[in-house]
Amino acid sequence: MVFSSSVFLFAFMPLSLAVYFLLPWRSLRNVWLLLVSLVFYAWGEPVYVALMVFSIIANWGFALGIDRCGQEARSAGKLLLVCAVAVNLLLIAFFKYEAFLAENVNACIGAAAVPNLELPLPIGISFYTLQALSYVIDVYRGEVHPQRNVLYLGMYVACFPQLIAGPIVRYQTIEDQVLNRRETLDGFACGLRLFIVGLSKKVLLANVVAVLATDMLARGGSDIGAIGAWAGLVAFSFQILFDFSGYSDMAIGLGKMFGFSYLRNFNYPYLSKSGTEFWRRWHMSLGSFFRDYVYIPLGGNRCSVPRWVFNIFVVWFLTGLWHGAAWHFVIWGLFYGVLLVAEKLFLLKAVRKLPAIAQHLYGIVVFLFGWLLFWAEDMGQFTGLLWALVGGYGVSGASTAWELFAWTYVPVFLVCAVASTPVVPYVRSRLLQWGTGEGPSGPFMKVDLPAEKRFGTNGLCSFDLSGVGDPAKRRALECVAFGVDLALLALLILSVASVASGSFNPFIYFRF
C-alpha cells in the first residue's frame, strides 16, 4: 500500500486516524499504531511481515542485553552489539543483495556456483533495518534508554508513516514522544496541510513529469537527440525530487497528525552550489545516518588525508549500494565520493570565487550528471544519453522536435522550478515581517534554510500570528491564511481526483 492510492486515501488513513483518536489511553494508541502498521505492510507483502516481526524482537532483545551488561561487562555488551549489527546486515544482505552477489560471483568464476534465489525484495527493508540498527547502537552508546515494551519498540520500527520510504527516524528523536507526545488540533492541522503538500508534489508534479522522463530516457540518445535527452533528464530530476520529498512530506505530516515530530528530510537541494551542499540538503536522514554510524566511527576527517579519503569512499560506496543492488548505483555513489573529495581538497575553493549564478549552474550540472548515472542501468545507456546531451545525435536524433512533445511540458517545468525554491516560506516571512514590523527577513535563497543540525518541522505549513499586535493587520493575515487553506483544499481535490482516475502513478521505492 502506498499513500497515493485510493485504498489508503479513502479507507486506511481515515479509519486509522478515527480509531486512534477514539482510544482513551496512550498505551492503546501505541498498540493500535503497531497493528495498523503491520496491516499496512502486509497489504502488499504478507509473507515479509514475519521478517519485520523477527527484526523487531531481535533488536529489542539485543538492546535489553546490551543495557544489562552495563559498564561492568562492556566487552559482553560489545559482543552483543557486533551480533546485532551482523544480524541486521545479514538480513538486508540476504534479501536485497543475494541475487546481485550470485550474479557477480558466477560471472567471475564462469560457473553457477552460487544459486540465484530471485527473492522478491521486502519493501522498505533498507529503511526499517537502519532504524532498528541505529536504535541498538544508540543504546550501546548510552544515548537512549532501551525500550522495555516490545510492542512500543515495534510501533517505532513499523510505524507506517515512515515505513516504506522514510525519512529514517532515529529512536532518540521520538524516545520521549512514545509515551509523552501530545496530539493537538493545531498539530493535526499542520500535519494535514503538509500531507496535502506532499501528495500534491507526488501526484500533480512527480507523476506528470514521470511520463516524459520514462518516454524520453527509455528510447535512447540516438532516437531523441539533444532536446529529448535534456527534457528527459530534467523531467527525471524533478520526478525524483518531488516523488521522494513529497513522500517525506506526507510521512512527516502523518506523523504530526499522530503527535510525532519527525525531522525534515529535504531542504531545497536544487539550490545547492556544490555537490557537498547538495548532500547536506538531499535525503538528510540518510546522510546523517552514514555520518554518525559509519563516517565518524571510521575516524571522520580527524586522521591522515589517505585515511580520510578511504573513509569517504567507504561511505559513498555504501550509499550507492544502499540505493540498489546494481553496479550503476555503486558508480553513482563513488562519483559523489570522488567529487566531494575533490571539492574538499581544491575544487570548492575555485568554485566559490565564481559569481553566484555560476556557482548555481555548477551545482545544477553536478546533480544532473549524478541523476544520469543513477538512471542509466548500463554504460551503453549512459554513454548514449551523454552523447545526446552534448549534441552528438543532433537536435532531435531520429525524431523530429515536434514528435518528441517535450515542448508541451514547459509550463510544468516552470511550476516544478518554482516549487524547488523557498518561494512559499519567503512570502510567508515577508507577510509576517509586515504584520509584526520586525526587520528584513533576509535574501530569498536564505529563507527557511536552517543550520545543519536544525532540521525541525514545526515551522512547516504553519502561520503563527501570535506576534501580530495590530488588529487590522491580524485580520488581513487571517484572510491570507484562510485563502491558503482554500488553495490546499483545491490541491487535495485535484490530487484525489487524479488518484481515483487511475492516472500514471509509478512507485520508485520498490528497489529500497
Residues taking part in catalysis: 323
8 Å CB contact between 447 and 432:
no
CA torsion, ordered 147, 153, 157, 159, to nearest 10 deg: -130
8 Å CB contact between 240 and 418:
no
8 Å CB contact between 7 and 129:
no
| Set of cell numbers at residue 313 | 569512499
The CA-to-CA distance between both ends of the chain, in Å, stands at 15
CA-derived radius of gyration, the chain: 24
8 Å CB contact between 172 and 137:
no
Q: Which residues make Cβ contacts (< 8 Å) with residue 212, sequence separation at least 6?
A: 231, 232, 235, 405, 406, 409
Q: Residue 142 class from Cβ within 10 Å (0-12 exposed, 13-18 middle, 19+ buried)?
A: exposed
DSSP class per residue in 128-193: HHHHHHHHHHHHHHTSS---S-HHHHHHHHH-GGGTTT-----HHHHTTHHHH----HHHHHHHHH
Grid-cell match 571522520, residue found: 300
Cα–Cα dist 389/239, whole Å: 19
C-alpha pair distances (Å), 265 with each of 61, 254, 456: 30, 14, 10
